[in-house]
Amino acid sequence: MGKKLVMAQKRGETRALCLGVAMVLCAVITYYILGTTVLPLYQKSVWTQESMCHLIETNIRDQEQLEGKKVPQYPCLWVNVSSVGRWAVLYHTEDTRDRNQQCSYIPGSLDNYQMARADVEKVRAKLHERQVFDCFSTTRENETSVLYQRLYGPQTLLFSLFWPTFLLTGGLLIIAMVKINQSLSILAAQK
């Protein structure tokens, strides 16, 4: 009976060690992936200065009002604000600015024009409600753009690193508990 218990214990310890090592390896791989994707975006982000924006005007432009340039067919919200003592164009995120510099906000659903228009109207109404809100600007002198929300801010970085850290800690704890259990069983067998 005792020998069967020891064999079962060894199999369980082996499985637990494999689980711990697998968790640690997954965490290391995830850290590598995050280090090559999210971390460079965070480091390259120039939108670090937090400031207050005062709404000047909003305008919803349809595709025919966009100065004859080839743009997708969706309603476009254009927002002018005053920030850090100067006039600026407000963009929702870094990606909005990169996708279309003529639009401050691009609706999420572009399949249905009416739904996209309703989404843009809702965002416009929220901006008019608040009038003064936090925004992010760059330290460059000649920049006339500000962001409403940073995609690659410190919160995003911490949230991205939470699960791999949890996995690494859990894996190391499993490995440590198995090793402590093995050493205690050896000490008990010696007595």
- Write out pLDDT tens, residues 32-69: 999 898 888 887 777 778 888 888 888 887 765 555 55
Per-domain residue ranges for the chain?
47-152
The tally of CA atoms less than 13 A away on the side-chain side of residue 129 is 6
Alpha helix locations (H) across 45-153? 94-99, 113-130
User: Is the pTM higher than 0.85?
Assistant: no
Q: Are 91 and 104 in contact (CB under 8 A)?
A: yes
> Cα(66)–Cα(60) distance, rounded to whole angstroms?
10
Residue-wise pLDDT for 88-98, tens only, equals 888 888 888 77
- The CA distance from 103 to 123, in Å, is 13
